[in-house]
């Protein structure tokens, strides 16, 4: 991109950043869905990406309204003196996916 107009340059950078963040959320949604345990498929099918990211947005980008998703996402461990959680996702869901995505080298294209 070649321009000496600051507004054009800013808008170009803004669109690139929005696209990169949106791609990150797409990958987060896909990876979370893929590592979610399948017993009935309900938790896996519950993931939804809500729209596209725009700078200045303060909205939820990904949701899963399945009532027991929190139990799966916490993983397996001792909570309140009892061992609870998922044997199928002992490390949880979102944190391992975020760890994976943040370790990958990303460039803005």
Fill in the DSSP letter of residue 48: E
Q: What is the pLDDT along the chain (109 residues), one digit of tens a residue?
A: 677 888 999 999 999 999 988 999 999 999 999 999 888 899 999 999 998 989 988 888 899 999 999 989 988 887 778 887 778 888 999 999 999 988 886 655 5
- If we measure between CA atoms, which residue out of 68, 74, 66 comes closest to residue 94? 74
What distance in Å separates the CA atoms of residue 106 and residue 109, rounded to the nearest whole number? 9
Task: Work out how many domains the chain is built from and give that number.
Answer: 1
Q: pTM of the prediction?
A: 0.79
Question: In which element (H, E) is residue 83 found?
Answer: strand 82-84
pLDDT at 104: 80
Contact 30, 49 (CB under 8 A): no
- Helix/strand/coil for 40: coil
The range of the structural domain enclosing residue 61 comes to 6-103
The answer to whether residue 32 sits within a structural domain is yes
């Amino acid at each position: 991109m070649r321009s000496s107009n600051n507004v054009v340059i800013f808008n170009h950078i803004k669109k690139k950043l929005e696209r990169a963040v949106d791609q990150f959320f797409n990958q987060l949604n896909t990876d979370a869905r893929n590592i979610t345990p399948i017993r009935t498929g309900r938790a896996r099918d519950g993931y939804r990406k809500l729209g596209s990211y725009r700078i200045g947005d303060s909205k939820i980008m990904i949701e899963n309204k399945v009532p027991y998703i929190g139990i799966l996402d916490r993983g397996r461990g001792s909570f309140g003196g009892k061992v609870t959680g998922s044997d199928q996702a002992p490390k949880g869901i979102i944190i391992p996916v975020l760890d994976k995505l943040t370790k990958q080298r990303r460039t803005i294209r």
